[in-house]
Amino acid sequence: MDLTGKVAVVTGGGRGLGFAYATALARSGASVVVNDADEQAAKEAVDTITAAGGTAVAEVGAVGPSEVADRLVGRAVEEFGRLDVMVTNAGVLRDRVLWKMTDDDFDTVIDVHLRGTFTCVRAAVRQMRAQGGGGSIVVIGSPAGQRGNFGQTNYSAAKAAIVGMVRTWALECAKAGIAVNAVIPIAATAMTKTIPAFAPFIEEAEQRGEPFPKWLRQGEGFGTPEDVAGLLVFLASDAARGITGQAIGIGGDKLSLWSHPQEISTAYRDGGWDADAIAATWSTSVGRRPETYGIPEATP
């Protein structure tokens, strides 16, 4: 997949999934602005990319404020003349159950994930519309945002909202030829290591240096950051033109398409529904098969 001539920004690109995305994009020929709040991580990522023959520059800053988003886009234009791809990956965790979560826990995660995605995408789309020729927006969601996860009120809310914005932005950006999609990755990172369902397997792999077992890579779709990066390259390429408004899952050996929320069961009653009528029919009509929730436990 040849991305020669394309210019990308990757937020949170200093380590983990972001680093895998930035590396894969550069390996495929794109010039990359690597953003991270950690200056050393951003510099080391750029050094690794350039040592392998890629083209990259570092731009340090914590996403959220409009000023940082504008600076990232400005750096891409200043260094490489344009912007074709925006990948919003930066994130933090402040996990606590609802009754122990503080205002600061909530606001910090929402500011980085949700506001950071909004400001960076807005800045990117303004540049893409001004220069013409379309572009690709790839925002990073999470299974926690699709299904919920214990202790992650803030993170689940932000990731669910991000996918909601994707569907709106796909509509708004279509005329300009800008594709907008969400990637729902499942991979071994510092973040997923905090999820009880995956932590033991990540620790075991780190200690023994062995690959994840087949049942985990296929049954759970859980693998390494590098397993995810190919999807980013595809979505940044001309081969993905026309794909927009989608939430695409990837991890391990698994590639999937997430459904959009939609009505799955309906019932009608002349004159409408009062509480007694709902109670009388719930279990035999719309409530006959309740939806599941939460990330399934990883089991062999």
- Listing DSSP states for 186-224 in one string gives -B-STTGGGSTTTHHHHHHHHHH-PPPPHIIIIIS--B-
> Which secondary structure element, helix H or strand E, spans residue 34, and what is its range?
strand 31-36
Let me know: does 69 contact 33? Beta carbons within 8 Å. no
Q: What positions carry a catalytic annotation?
A: 155
Let me know: does 265 contact 285? Beta carbons within 8 Å. yes
Distance CA(295)–CA(88), nearest Å, equals 23
- Pick from 99, 253, 125: which is nearest to 178 by CA? 125
Q: Which long-range contacts (CB under 8 A, 24 or more apart) does 285-293 make?
A: 289/265, 291/264, 292/147, 293/147, 293/148
Let me know: does 42 contact 13? Beta carbons within 8 Å. yes
What is residue 178's three-state secondary structure? strand
- β-partners of residue 96 are 152
